[in-house]
Chain A
Amino acid sequence: MILEVRHVKKSFNGRAVLDDINFSVDAGECVGIVGRSGCGKSTLAKIIARLIDYDSGEIFIDGELQMIFQMPEDSFNPRKTLGWSIAEPMKNRDFKNIPARVSDLLLEVGLPADYAKKYPHEVSGGECQRAAIARAISVNPKILICDEATSALDVTIQAQIINLLKKLCREKKIACLFITHDLNLLPKIADRVIVLHGGKIVDENSTAEIFKNAKSPFTKELIEGGLFWKI
């Protein structure tokens, strides 16, 4: 087991945002967390990444954790080159031969090596997200949190990024917590789905089962909503 979340609670100004969250993620597994805006998905992601504190409960992480954010351009310092930002986690962990490793990482995510010299505003959203993936995998994480990592991208680029994430996670045996509001993205990447509603887990099952036998009316609503938009 790479990640275990036990009885985690979080409230803001007396309002419960996360209420008794329990789940675990195995090595190499991809778990999708889905829910409406404001249901606590991003709060959960930030809590697991230790970016914000939680009120009670326990979180166990076995190994390095990295995160990919929703807005690709905003996840890079606009005053630094992509190469500098990709190198930053490696510098802090005393990696050797960092410039060569940055080039290799860029090639691995499908970007030319000379993109290391570019600034975030000089590349497209999709390219920026590829660079963010390069930064995230640079320190060989055991788990990757993708917080709405494809929401700001158009459908074609979305598919490319999902395929890239899938490939990298499979090859490097990285577990993935794929957070999205779009349930229909999950069959493409997630092995298991957790449905979050009002700060609580209302459904949890394998991706195929969730679509076949959704327990919660809210999950059904999400599936039907997705179908409605497909029509």
Chain B
Amino acid sequence: MNKIFPQLISAGAIIFIAIFAQYLTPFDPYEQNLARALTPPDSINLLGTDRYGRDILSRVIIGSQTTILSALALLAVISIFGSLIGAVCGFKGGKLDTFLMRLSDVFLAFPQMVFAIAAAGALGGGLFNAALALALIGWTKYARISRSLTLTIRKMPYIDAAKLAGTSSFGILINHVLPNIAGPILVTAALDIGTIIMELAGLSFLGLGAMPPTAEWGAMMNNGRSMLQTASWVILAPGFAIFLTVAIFNLLGDALRDVLDVKNR
């Protein structure tokens, strides 16, 4: 447990900030003050202000809510849905397996970001549609991983022992298959948090995610990109927030991999 403690504390702190963001912002993140537009970091606005004079620190803090919580919600949906599909396919096999795996092949044939851009564009933009576009393609990865893990587990003698014990197929799936695929799936999901944050931010950066004035890290970078040379703090603050969050969740994923290996207990 000690191995993962620092990563858990860091990730927990970020999630805490995201959940209680509205109570932690020093200023109203949406209040404009044109008199202080593009003020560099100073003692009043610690990370400076944007072109409308909005406090960037407050926007980064409130933006964590949009960015991280939407990424976590999206990740929960695709990892649970994808894993269940993969586990059932791997355990049952047959026509259902063939159909769902060919369907996932179709989705996997598209480059993920290109598909997400096309889907988000067709759906009409907005954070929900951007998340939906990423979910449409994101489940396939989890279905593939959980199916291959299930295929390996299905051949283990303890599954034969469970069958001889009289355990039903559903019981075997719940008690024997899912607990043994949960570790690798959880590690993949933890490592994926960073990727999903980047993808959601990427769609927002392209104008297909969060819509103005919603504070979202990708959208904030998009708004400040023309000022990179003149007022770099506008783009650096959300950029650093993305970097820090992605790095922390990646480290958490690595630590989880060690901790969840049952033989390391």
Our pick among A65, A71, A79 for the contact of B157 (Cβ within 8 Å) is: A71
Our pick among A49, A77, A121 for the contact of B179 (Cβ within 8 Å) is: A77
B102 proximal to A (CB < 8 A): no
Which residues of A are found within 8 Å of B176, using beta-carbon distances? 77
Please determine whether A78 and B161 come into contact, CB atoms closer than 8 angstroms: no
Please determine whether B179 and A135 come into contact, CB atoms closer than 8 angstroms: no
A166 proximal to B (CB < 8 A): no
Known: A49-B164, A75-B157, A77-B176; 18 extra A-B contacts, CB below 8 A, are: A49-B160, A51-B160, A66-B164, A67-B164, A69-B157, A69-B161, A77-B158, A77-B175, A78-B158, A78-B262, A79-B180, A89-B164, A89-B165, A92-B167, A119-B262, A119-B265, A135-B161, A135-B165
Q: Which of B149-164 contact A (CB under 8 A)?
A: 156-158, 160-164
Main secondary structure of the interface of B (DSSP, over half): helix
Residues of B in contact (CB 8 Å), total 18
A88 proximal to B (CB < 8 A): yes
| 21 A–B pairs (Cβ distance < 8 Å), ordered by A | A51-B163, A51-B164, A65-B164, A66-B164, A67-B164, A69-B160, A69-B161, A70-B157, A71-B157, A74-B157, A75-B158, A76-B158, A76-B161, A77-B176, A77-B180, A78-B180, A79-B262, A80-B179, A92-B165, A121-B262, A121-B263
A contact set with B: CB distance below 8 Å: 46, 49, 51, 65-67, 69-71, 74-80, 85, 88-89, 92-93, 119, 121, 132, 135
Q: Which of B68-90 contact A (CB under 8 A)?
A: none
B166 proximal to A (CB < 8 A): yes
A78 to B161, CA, bound (A): 13
Which residues of B are found within 8 Å of A132, using beta-carbon distances? 161
B contact set with A: CB distance below 8 Å: 156-158, 160-167, 175-176, 179-180, 262-263, 265
Which residues of B are found within 8 Å of A80, using beta-carbon distances? 175, 179
User: Knowing A77-B175, A92-B166 touch, does A67 contact B161 (C-beta < 8 A)?
Assistant: yes
Which residues of B are found within 8 Å of A70, using beta-carbon distances? 157
Which residues of A are found within 8 Å of B161, using beta-carbon distances? 67, 69, 75-76, 85, 132, 135
Our pick among A46, A79, A93, A135 for the contact of B160 (Cβ within 8 Å) is: A46
A65 to B176, CA, bound (A): 21
Closest to A51 in B: B160
Please determine whether A67 and B165 come into contact, CB atoms closer than 8 angstroms: no
Closest to B265 in A: A119
User: Knowing A79-B262, A121-B262 touch, does A74 contact B164 (C-beta < 8 A)?
Assistant: no
